Structure 1
Amino acid sequence: MPMHRLPSVLAPASISLPFNRLVVFGDSYSDTGHNFNLTQGKFPPSPPYDKKYSNGPVWCEYLAKNLGLTLENYAEGGATTDNNFVQGHTSPANLPVNGIYQQIQKVYLPTNPSTASTALYALFSSGNDFHVDKLLSANHSALNLLRAVSLLRSSLPTARHFLLFRSADLGNLPYFHPQAAGLFHHPFRSTLERGVATTVSARFNENLNAYTREYKQKNPEIELTVFETDKLFSGLDKQGEKHGFQNVKQQCVALDGRRFVPQGEIASHFYWDSVHVTTKGHELLAGEVAKALGEVYEGKA
């Protein structure tokens, strides 16, 4: 089995990893150009976007490069956890996109993948479910992700390595900052108040932890890592400058491409628009995910 070592700058020790591929399912936080192509280059508007929902590479691109993994990306901006629960769309064209479950079921599995045993499967949902059913969705959304893992496992019995993400506190998004008011329609605006967004995030995380614990107990042969996105993002309030961020509250651009921050100041901002982070933010996220993987796989490869 191929072993790949974590660079020492990303992990506390040089750790061998039992996978050489990173297979990603998700939404706009992971989309590396799907929606740009789907909308024939119209969205996200590039520039200032980089054909994805940021101003440069996103976390999975950084992670794959840093760890020497082959990236296979099926993420679609606007995706929910499962279209049978909530249908996802890409804004502003309102075109339907595959949910995470459908990305696996309808797009990935039909390719007849033969390298499941040496793949790390990452499923990243950043909250598109939550504009429907509010608190109810926090339970279903977490369960949907485990159902997606189960689909991979039942279809690819040799699949062993999985990565899920806790939700950042959605109430802390710049979307709720006055600067973002009225700039661009987003489902959070009409259906979630800031406090409810925070509650939904916390409820989702509680459910995800509970479901993953239960799943791992029933499937001890797999390695299922849950990354604490919430702790990383919230920790920047106090440690932002340590990572080179002077501003961790306000966005640089609107979703329609209007700029708020001079080009020279973008590198000091964590958030790119009212929902997504800058490429520097993605680089930080990738580095922390790499460290988490190093801690999980130390001595196991």
Structure 2
Amino acid sequence: MNSSAQALPTFDQIVVFGDSLSDNGNSGRASNGPVWVEHLATRFGFMLEPSRTGGSNFAVGGARLDPRSGTTSLRAQASAYLRRSRPHGRILHIVYGGGNDLLAAVGQPQALAMVDAAVASMRSIVADLAHQGATDILVPNLPAIGITPVVRAQGRQAVEAANRLAERFNRALDQALSGFASQGGLRLYRLDVWQLAERVRANPAAAGFTDITTPCGQHRRCEGHLFWDDVHPTTQAHRRLAEAAAQVLETR
């Protein structure tokens, strides 16, 4: 998963819409170090700052895709950005969400509708960005969220249900974004986090992990741990995600 910085395309800025996996200061950083978009920005030679201090990272911990979830939803984040005077140059837009929608949907009778609403919101965000002239958009999918300690603690049925929802989300996302493949002037990058997580689960040591189930705790060394707490990855895991993202960007 190593990649050469010289092979990366040149971007003038990264703009991020997301949740706690990408938040580096709007509601706090949920990891023991930089999150994946920060690692990725470093590869391009610049710092990524939260939007509340004037930066271009709009991600907020706890945010969902569903626009009905409140003023911090990814839909609201994107709308706030699109109302701004946007910077010039080549901009990489990252839209990564859905995890909180799915965690809230586990065990709910309307779970499938919640998943579909999340995917519809993602499609609308990508469509609006493209309509406003975005040329580069990175959209990761979701891992099998049953791997998280918070879901595993609920038992086997919850794990299976959560993973089925993630599978449904990813299939629907692929279908929703397929129509953008032929849109002229748009480079749509897809990051397969599902497969990345499955490889880690199948062979943790190959990815540098010794423990993929136990949260490392906020006051302990996290080296070798996949999870920082019961939901969020360690900065080591975030670095792996950034490396995978860099590989995807190199292909276009």
Alignment of 1:1-301 (within 5 A): 9-11=2-4, 14-36=6-28, 52-69=29-46, 71=48, 72-84=56-68, 87=69, 97-106=71-80, 108-115=81-88, 117-130=89-102, 131-132=104-105, 133-154=110-131, 156-157=132-133, 159-178=134-153, 193-217=158-182, 219-253=183-217, 263-264=220-221, 266-295=222-251, 297=252
Higher alpha-carbon Rg: 1
Contact preservation (8 Å) 2:36, 2:239: yes
Between the aligned partners of 2:180 and 2:98, the Cα distance in structure 1 is 21
Letter in 2 for 1:227: L
Contact preservation (8 Å) 1:20, 1:70: no
String of CA shifts for 1:248-280, please: whole Å, max 9, x gaps: 122123xxx6x6xxx24x111011111110011
- Provide TM-score, normalisation by structure 2: 0.87
Seq. identity, %: 27
Deviation at 1:162, TM superposition (A): 0.2
Between the aligned partners of 1:272 and 1:70, the Cα distance in structure 2 is 23
Between the aligned partners of 1:16 and 1:163, the Cα distance in structure 2 is 14
Letter in 2 for 1:119: I
Letter in 1 for 2:30: Y
Runs of 4+ in 1 over 6 A off after TM superposition: none
Between the aligned partners of 1:82 and 1:134, the Cα distance in structure 2 is 13
Between the aligned partners of 1:215 and 1:9, the Cα distance in structure 2 is 29
SS in 2 for 1:216: coil
**Residue 16 to residue 195, structure 1, CA distance change in 2 (3 Å):** closer
Say which is worse superposed, 63-72 or 27-36, in terms of deviation: 63-72
SS in 1 for 2:24: coil
String of CA shifts for 1:58-105, please: whole Å, max 9, x gaps: 000000001224532010011111323xx15xxxxxxxx511110111
String of CA shifts for 1:108-159, please: whole Å, max 9, x gaps: 22331132x51000001141112243122222212211100112223x22x1
Contact preservation (8 Å) 2:15, 2:94: yes
Between the aligned partners of 2:113 and 2:245, the Cα distance in structure 1 is 28
Deviation at 1:242, TM superposition (A): 1.9
String of CA shifts for 1:218-238, please: whole Å, max 9, x gaps: x13211111000111111123
Deviation at 1:177, TM superposition (A): 3.3
Deviation at 1:53, TM superposition (A): 0.5
SS in 2 for 1:141: helix
**Residue 60 to residue 16, structure 1, CA distance change in 2 (3 Å):** closer
Measured on the aligned residues, the alpha-carbon RMSD in Å equals 2.2
Contact preservation (8 Å) 2:96, 2:140: yes
Name the counterpart of 1:94.
Answer: none
Contact preservation (8 Å) 2:11, 2:44: no
Deviation at 1:213, TM superposition (A): 1.1
